[in-house]
């Protein structure tokens, strides 16, 4: 049985339909990433699965327990790190951890030793006895995650764990998440970044305007959005047209190259990006084209969106309800 089952979740806030029938499953010891732009419904889905919100319709099961029927039972099995760090600033890191341990009904001694263990694991030992008020954003986030882990949850929910972090803290957070994955934690994480989903997740569910518009692995989603692209800049604008001709053999079928004469640039979908830069430079050199720059561009959430829905990833777009027909990994039965 999967560790998490979301089955046709529907939730409205007044006129806002935050979720319009979202379904997914997470296998034990695997990582699912819910990917979507602002307002897509990521937090709403997480809040339903973690018993903070009641769905209008649909079923949510965590570790075999229906979260609506037995919320306290479900809470004993989940760890939640919300979108905004939920720590008590007035207390120390250690006290925060101990508090949560005790509210998970651990014995005091057990809660204390577990708290120390987690402080160490999240590189907070030195800060552990200082008030959280003086912590940096990254430290708060790490403490927040440590608090969610104190009772060894069956499933951990991380809502945008890297949003608002500087690049260094973001990398640290990825390391933390890698560690959790290595330990076999079942993880649901949400993000707005495709590269983050690709880096961390086994499976990805893309949601937009409250509906699942695609699902699959990162590779599947990327090829659905045209795969990696190579952006070639040449010195002579008349050579731009020749670039796709010279490179015809390595182009991905079915996706049109984009030629921009003014910028002297050709953007080409490549069938494979292995050793692509030397290959491109060599071929163009042999053809006598003066190459200024070659850049590999990975598809972003925006590209996936553009490909799947025909609109860019914005939070206030009115989605047509019959989209996603052209997707390579289309979401057939969302209900």
Partner 1 sequence: MTATATPTRSGPVPSDRHVVPTGATWLARDTWTEATRHLTATRRNPELLVFATIQPIMFVVLFVYVFGGAIQIPGFASYEQFVVPGIFAQTIVFGSAFTGIGIAEDMSKGFIDRLRSLPMYPSAVLLGRTFSDLLRNIFTFFIMLIVGLFVGFRLEGGLVDAALATLLLLAFAYAFSWIQALIGLSVKSVETANSAGFMWMFPLTFISSAFVDPSTMPGWLQPVAEHNPFTIVTNATRALYNGYDPGMDVVWSLVWAAGITVVFAALSFRKFTSNSK
Which residues make up the interface to partner 1 (CB under 8 A)?
50-54, 63, 72-73, 75-78, 80, 82, 84-91, 95, 99-100, 102-107, 110, 114, 117, 131, 147, 151-152, 154, 183
Count the residues of the shown chain that bind ligand ATP, applying the rule CB under 6 A. 13
d(CA 72, CA 52) in angstroms, rounded, equals 11
Residue 119: C-alpha distances to residues 97, 116, 127, 150, 255 (Å)? 9, 5, 8, 10, 50
**CB closer to Mg ion out of 94 and 157:** 157
**CB closer to Mg ion out of 43 and 191:** 43
Q: Could you say which of partner 1, ligand ATP, Mg ion, none residue 152 binds, taking C-beta under 5 to 8 angstroms by partner kind?
A: partner 1
Total residue count of the chain as it appears in this document = 335
CA nearest neighbour of 155 among 335, 5, 36: 5
Work out whether 209 is an interface residue with Mg ion (CB under 5 A).
Answer: no
Work out how close the CB of 52 gets to Mg ion at its nearest, in angstroms, rounded to a whole number: 12
Cβ–Cβ under 8 Å, residues 5 and 59: yes
Token pair, residue 166, equals: 């500087």
CA nearest neighbour of 40 among 11, 75, 74, 71: 11
DSSP for 159-201 reads ESTTTT--HHHHHHHHHHHHHHHHTT-EEEEEES-HHHHHHH-
Work out whether 16 is an interface residue with ligand ATP (CB under 6 A).
Answer: yes
Q: Could you say which of ligand ATP, partner 1, Mg ion, none residue 44 binds, taking C-beta under 5 to 8 angstroms by partner kind?
A: ligand ATP
Work out how close the CB of 75 gets to partner 1 at its nearest, in angstroms, rounded to a whole number: 4
CA distance from start to end of the chain: 19
Work out whether 44 is an interface residue with ligand ATP (CB under 6 A).
Answer: yes
Work out how close the CB of 41 gets to partner 1 at its nearest, in angstroms, rounded to a whole number: 17
Work out how close the CB of 39 gets to ligand ATP at its nearest, in angstroms, rounded to a whole number: 4
Strands 203-208 and 211-216: antiparallel
Work out how close the CB of 51 gets to Mg ion at its nearest, in angstroms, rounded to a whole number: 17
Token pair, residue 288, equals: 């006598």
Instruction: Please report which helix (H) or strand (E) contains residue 7, including its range.
Output: strand 4-13
Stretch that binds ligand ATP, among 36-44, 69-77, 174-182, 301-309 (CB under 6 A): 36-44
Work out whether 38 is an interface residue with ligand ATP (CB under 6 A).
Answer: yes
Token pair, residue 248, equals: 């015809």
Token pair, residue 258, equals: 């984009």
Work out how close the CB of 159 gets to Mg ion at its nearest, in angstroms, rounded to a whole number: 6
Question: Mask 189-208, x = binds ligand ATP (CB under 6 A)?
Answer: ---x----------------
Work out whether 41 is an interface residue with ligand ATP (CB under 6 A).
Answer: yes
Q: Could you say which of Mg ion, ligand ATP, partner 1, none residue 183 binds, taking C-beta under 5 to 8 angstroms by partner kind?
A: partner 1
d(CA 296, CA 7) in angstroms, rounded, equals 39
Pick one of 30, 43, 50, 307: the residue that binds ligand ATP (CB under 6 A). 43
**CB closer to ligand ATP out of 39 and 330:** 39
d(CA 121, CA 71) in angstroms, rounded, equals 29
Would you tell me which residues interact with ligand ATP (CB under 6 A)? 13, 16, 18, 36, 38-44, 83, 192
């Amino acid at each position: 049985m999967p560790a998490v089952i979301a089955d046709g979740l529907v939730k409205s806030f007044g006129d806002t339909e935050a979720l319009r029938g979202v379904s997914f499953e997470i296998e034990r010891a695997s990582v699912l990433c819910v990917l979507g732009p602002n307002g897509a419904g990521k937090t709403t889905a997480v809040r339903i699965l973690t018993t903070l919100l009641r769905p209008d319709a649909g079923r949510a099961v965590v570790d075999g327990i229906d979260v609506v029927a037995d919320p306290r039972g479900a809470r004993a099995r989940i760890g939640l790190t919300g979108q905004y760090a939920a720590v008590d600033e007035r207390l120390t890191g250690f006290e925060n951890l101990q508090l949560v341990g005790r509210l998970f009904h651990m014995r005091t001694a057990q809660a204390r030793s577990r708290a120390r263990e987690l402080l160490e694991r999240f590189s907070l030992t030195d800060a552990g006895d200082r008030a959280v008020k003086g912590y940096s954003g990254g430290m708060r986030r790490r403490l927040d995650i440590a608090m969610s882990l104190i009772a060894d949850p069956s499933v951990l929910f991380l809502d945008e764990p890297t949003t608002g972090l500087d690049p260094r803290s973001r990398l640290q957070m990825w390391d933390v998440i890698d560690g959790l994955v290595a330990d076999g934690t079942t993880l649901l994480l949400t993000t707005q970044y495709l590269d983050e989903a690709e880096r961390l997740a086994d499976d990805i569910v893309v949601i937009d305007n409250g509906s699942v518009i695609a699902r699959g692995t990162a590779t599947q989603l990327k090829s659905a959005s045209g795969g990696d692209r190579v952006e070639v800049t040449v010195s002579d604008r008349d050579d731009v047209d020749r670039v796709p001709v010279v490179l015809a053999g390595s182009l991905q079928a079915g996706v049109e190259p984009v030629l921009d004469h003014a910028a002297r640039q050709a953007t080409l979908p490549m069938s494979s990006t292995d050793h692509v830069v030397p290959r491109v430079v060599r071929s163009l050199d042999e053809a006598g084209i003066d190459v200024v720059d070659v850049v590999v561009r990975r598809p972003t959430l925006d590209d996936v969106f553009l490909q799947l829905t025909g609109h860019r990833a914005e939070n206030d777009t009115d989605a047509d309800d019959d989209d996603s027909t052209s997707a390579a990994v289309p979401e057939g039965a969302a209900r």
